[in-house]
Amino acid sequence: MARRTIKAGRADDSALVADWRDISACYSSLRCDLDRELDDHHGLGMSEFEVLDRLVEAPAGECRMHTLGDAMYLSQSALSRVVARLEREGLLVRDMCADDRRSVRVRLTEAGADRHEKARPTQLAVLARHLREERQPAGDGPA
């Protein structure tokens, strides 16, 4: 039920609310599963994993705090602590960059890359479970 999500150009109030509830439900249940599975199987929270994820994508496995903050939708303080946790676990290192000593450069360690690699299948599985079945209730690939 309720699969109007992106349909509905009408946008009267109740459609708005209905859309919001769809988004909310989708996000919440996915987030909950993801958070729990990442934590159970890999000792990572969702935010932790996401930081690792961004770092893996980043040019040399490193980037500045502020850049992470822009990409991640998390308050500055929260990000600061997530990174602190990850550093405590040895999954990344923080050091201040030479050119601007206010900035902190965050760099993925081998252990971090490893942990991320191990965790990624879990993430993908959860995403697939939630997102795929939402969109294509049945049916497989093309001919």
User: Residue 129 binds what, of DNA, its own copies, none (CB under 5 to 8 Å, by partner type)?
Assistant: none
Q: Which residues bind its own copies (CB under 8 A)?
A: 5-6, 9, 11, 13, 16-17, 19-20, 23-31, 73, 123-124, 127-128, 131-132, 135-136
What's the full length of the chain, in residues?
143
From the list 118, 112, 116, the residue with the least C-alpha distance to 90 is 112
Cβ–Cβ under 8 Å, residues 34 and 46: yes
The binder of DNA chosen from 64, 107, 129, 130 (CB under 7 A): 64
Q: Is 121 exposed, middle or buried (0-12, 13-18, 19+ CB in 10 A)?
A: exposed
Is the Cβ of residue 77 or residue 136 nearer to DNA in the bound state?
Answer: 77
User: Residue 111 binds what, of DNA, its own copies, none (CB under 5 to 8 Å, by partner type)?
Assistant: none
φ, ψ dihedrals at 95, nearest 5°: -145, 155
Is the Cβ of residue 111 or residue 124 nearer to its own copies in the bound state?
Answer: 124
C-alpha dist (Å) from residue 93 to 108, 138, 141 = 7, 45, 42
The binder of DNA chosen from 19, 71, 93, 103 (CB under 7 A): 103
Is the Cβ of residue 66 or residue 129 nearer to its own copies in the bound state?
Answer: 129
